[in-house]
Structure 1
């Protein structure tokens, strides 16, 4: 249940205020955090309450799986079996032989999907967030044998579907949550600027195509966190709002609501610690998206440059805001059906074919949809 204890007002006695404040972790230290009890109370958690085996998957790859960690830790607090998957930005071609290579019938003699664990080694440890997440979970006693099912970035929609069907059947998955760090996953394809749509659309199309016999359509959820972080790539907030409104009006149950992650919650503190651990392992590749989400949840605002990415963004203007720390939740069916180039990529077998399909669709447009006036 949600912890409703508040920081005392200035009218409270100083002794009582001090006692209450001591219930919250000090920002100057990072003591071990235990999962504890579930702190979220929203439509997504209510859906999960009836399921025991849940899959959380990064939508756009890289650190997107970290964007799902507040959900992961809260679901673990509910004693759920939570499994992880992601689209890799790292090179999987040199993966060690002790890491399971899950063969896909659609890709004979190709290494497309691996069950990455804490001891995995692809000889490219400069950027390997999936491995470092497994290390963190294992070292902190959260999971004895953590695995992140990791897809090669160039897989294509066909491979994403087949791979996820294997994972779902292997673990008896009852609910799948696809998580995007940012909100460009809500772009339809006819907008003037799309952000970085290829990985997102490949994952969305791949999950949408999963057989209903393997996972019912209403058990596939899309969640995005990091509102406004894609402005750097030209994604305008008013188009995100417009597309969300379209889903609300056109698809019954398409929008599941939005909710904030609070800085006092254990699921956030563990998310932050997991990111800190990975950032230290990959000092030159700290995630801009995850850093901005953390900053927003902690109450920073405007052009604040988080320490871990200060050098990477020193010439950029960031727009940290309270909406950045919120999950916006949709049905995969609604998001996929508003993806206007779905038919152009649904049979793709590589990232190149996804890119070609998007480009082919864009050439059919006479004009691009521009942001509508928004007074704020």
Structure 2
């Protein structure tokens, strides 16, 4: 698993190409921690689309047989203004076109779901939004939440990434 810092399309594409060539990769799976990767641009609000769009554009041009996007955390983008009715409409459109592969959730009565509800019950709520804010307007995550980066010998500068074997 690799995670790249915000780089832009061309540096990301170079980093992905390097990894594809060096590791003989035959599939790329992009993971969004929310759902704004599923937005098309004509929605009420787009959440934080810059990183998602950059990653999609970078991977689209790769010569890799399998390219997938997964979306985790349905509802997490609500504080960024994402309208999840529109997300569901986009999922329905993907399904009609044969591009939707399914969903997985924690059953509401499972022990895992109860632990999750307990864990987030007292989580601080973000302040109400007063307008559109870009991801640049937000403060960076605390140091403990950031990934450490390490580059590969011979890799282009853009290929500096975090990995988990």
- TM-score w.r.t. structure 1 length? 0.30
- The C-alpha deviation readout for 1:19-47, integer Å capped at 9, x for no partner, is xxxxxxxxxxxxxxxxxxxxxxxxxxxxx
1:1-150 to 2 correspondences below 5 Å: 84-88=1-5
**Separation of aligned partners in 1, 2:11 and 2:73:** 27
Which residue does 1:175 correspond to in 2? 27
Specify the alignment match of 1:232 in structure 2.
Answer: 79
Local SS of the residue matching 2:101: strand
* Structure 1: segments with no counterpart, 5+ residues: 1-83, 89-152, 263-294, 317-376
Q: Pick the aligned partner of 1:207 from 42, 59, 71.
A: 59
Match of 1:193, SS state, is coil
Q: Indicate if the aligned counterparts of 1:305 and 1:314 stay in contact, CA closer than 8 A.
A: no
The equivalent residue for 2:159 is none
Query: Could you say what the CA RMSD is over the residues aligned between the two structures, in angstroms?
Result: 2.3
Instruction: Report if aligned partners of 2:79, 2:126 keep a CA contact under 8 Å in 1.
Output: no
Distance in 1 (alpha carbons) for counterparts of 2:85 and 2:9: 29
Identify the residue that residue 305 of structure 1 maps to in structure 2: 122
Matched residues in 1 for 2:27 and 2:114: separation? 26
1:80-129 Cα offsets, whole Å, 9 max, x none, are xxxx21132xxxxxxxxxxxxxxxxxxxxxxxxxxxxxxxxxxxxxxxxx
Instruction: State the partner residue of 2:103.
Output: 258
1: distance between equivalents of 2:81 and 2:113? 20
Q: Which SS does the other structure have where 1:255 is aligned?
A: coil
| Secondary structure in structure 2 of the residue aligned to 1:256 | coil
Please tell me whether the aligned partners of residues 261 and 297 of structure 1 are also in contact (alpha carbons under 8 angstroms): no
Number of residues of Structure 1 aligned to a counterpart in Structure 2: 123
8 Å CA contact 1:183–1:224 kept in 2: the answer is yes
Query: Shift of residue 305 of structure 1?
Result: 3.0
Higher RCO (C-alpha under 8 Å, 6+ residues apart) = 2
Match of 1:187 among 11, 27, 39: 39
Unaligned runs of 5+ in 2: 129-165
Offset, 1:298: 2.9
Q: Does 1:221 align with 2:68?
A: yes
| 4+ residue runs over 2 A deviation | 295-299, 303-306, 313-316
In structure 2, the residue matched to 1:337 is none
Residue equivalent to 1:54: none
Higher-Rg structure is: 1
Q: Is the 8 A contact 1:160 1:203 kept in 2?
A: yes
